[in-house]
Amino acid sequence: MSGQVLVDLAWWDRPPDAVDDQVLRRCGGPTLDVGCGPGRMVVELARRGVPALGIDVVARAVRQVLARGGHALTRSVFDELPCEGRWQTVLLLDGCVGIGGDPKILLARIRELLAPGGVAYIEHDPEPDRAEYTTARLRYAGGEEATVDWTEVGWCLLARVAGEVDLVVKDTWTAGGRSFAAFSRPVERRAEWS
| DSSP secondary structure letters along 112-150 | HHEEEEEEEEEEE-SSTT-EEEEEEEEE-GGG-EEEEEE
pTM as predicted: 0.91
pLDDT for 28: 87
pLDDT in tens, 86-143: 999 999 999 899 999 999 999 999 999 999 999 999 999 999 999 988 887 776 666 6
- Amino acid letter at 80? E
Contacts of 1 (CB under 8 A, 6+ apart): 133, 134, 135
Q: Please list the alpha-helical segments (H only) found in 4-128.
A: 18-24, 40-47, 59-67, 103-113
SS3 at position 49: coil
pLDDT in tens, 37-74: 899 999 999 999 999 999 998 888 899 999 999 999 99
- Contact criterion met (CB below 8 Å) for 14 and 173: no
